[in-house]
């Protein structure tokens, strides 16, 4: 196990040394390598996305999206009809009571028996 980690570390170290020397000796070639690598990674990613989009599950996705749109329409219609009903059934605002209420004080000195947890 330690040997595998050592080999991986050695490869990473050699890669860093190689990139550093290329950067200082031939910066144009280094930028060209970065550009080519980015193009290859982007093309692989696009091919992967196109390939996964053509999977049989795409029919299920389309059906789900269609059902979601219908549900949103139904919900919108329900809210529109509910809002018109709410305006018709709106209750008048009640006025505040003029009564002056006072607090009746109880037995403050007596402690309650509480269970200990």
Provide the pLDDT for residue 114. Answer: 66
The total number of residues written for the chain in this structure: 117
Please answer whether residues 29 and 18 qualify as being in contact, where contact means their C-beta atoms are separated by less than 8 angstroms: no
What pLDDT score does 111 carry? 66
Single pTM value for the model: 0.38
Report the alpha-carbon distance of residue 84 to residue 92 in Å, rounded: 16
| 94 located within any domain | no
Q: Is residue 28 part of a domain?
A: yes
Whether 54 maps to a domain, the answer reads: yes
Please report the pLDDT score of residue 37 as a whole number.
93
What domain range is 76 assigned to? 8-83
> In this predicted structure, what is the pLDDT of residue 93?
73
Residue 91 lies in a domain: no
Mind listing the pLDDT tens digit of every residue in the chain (117 residues)?
Answer: 678 888 999 999 999 999 889 889 999 988 998 999 999 999 999 999 888 776 666 677 788 888 999 888 888 887 776 666 555 556 667 777 777 777 777 766 666 666 655
Q: What is the 3-state secondary structure (H, E, C) of the chain?
A: CHHHHHHHHHHHHHHHHHHHHHHHHCHHHHHHHHHHHHHHHHHHHHHHHHHHHCCCHHHHHHHHHHHHHHHHHHHHHHHHHHHHHHHHCCCCCCCCCCCCCCCCCCCCCCCCCCCCC
In a domain, 64, yes or no: yes
Q: What is the pLDDT of residue 55?
A: 64
Provide the domain count of the chain.
1
């Amino acid at each position: 196990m330690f040997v595998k980690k050592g080999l991986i570390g050695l490869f990473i170290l050699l890669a860093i040394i190689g990139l550093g020397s290329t950067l200082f000796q031939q910066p144009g070639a280094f930028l060209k390598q970065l550009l080519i690598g980015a193009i290859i990674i982007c093309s692989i990613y696009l091919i992967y996305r196109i390939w996964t989009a053509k999977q049989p599950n795409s029919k299920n996705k389309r059906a789900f999206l269609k059902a979601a749109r219908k549900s949103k329409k139904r919900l919108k219609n329900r809210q529109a009809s509910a809002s018109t009903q709410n305006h018709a059934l709106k209750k008048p605002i009640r006025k505040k009571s003029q009564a002056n209420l006072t607090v009746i004080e109880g037995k403050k000195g007596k402690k309650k028996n509480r269970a200990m947890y």
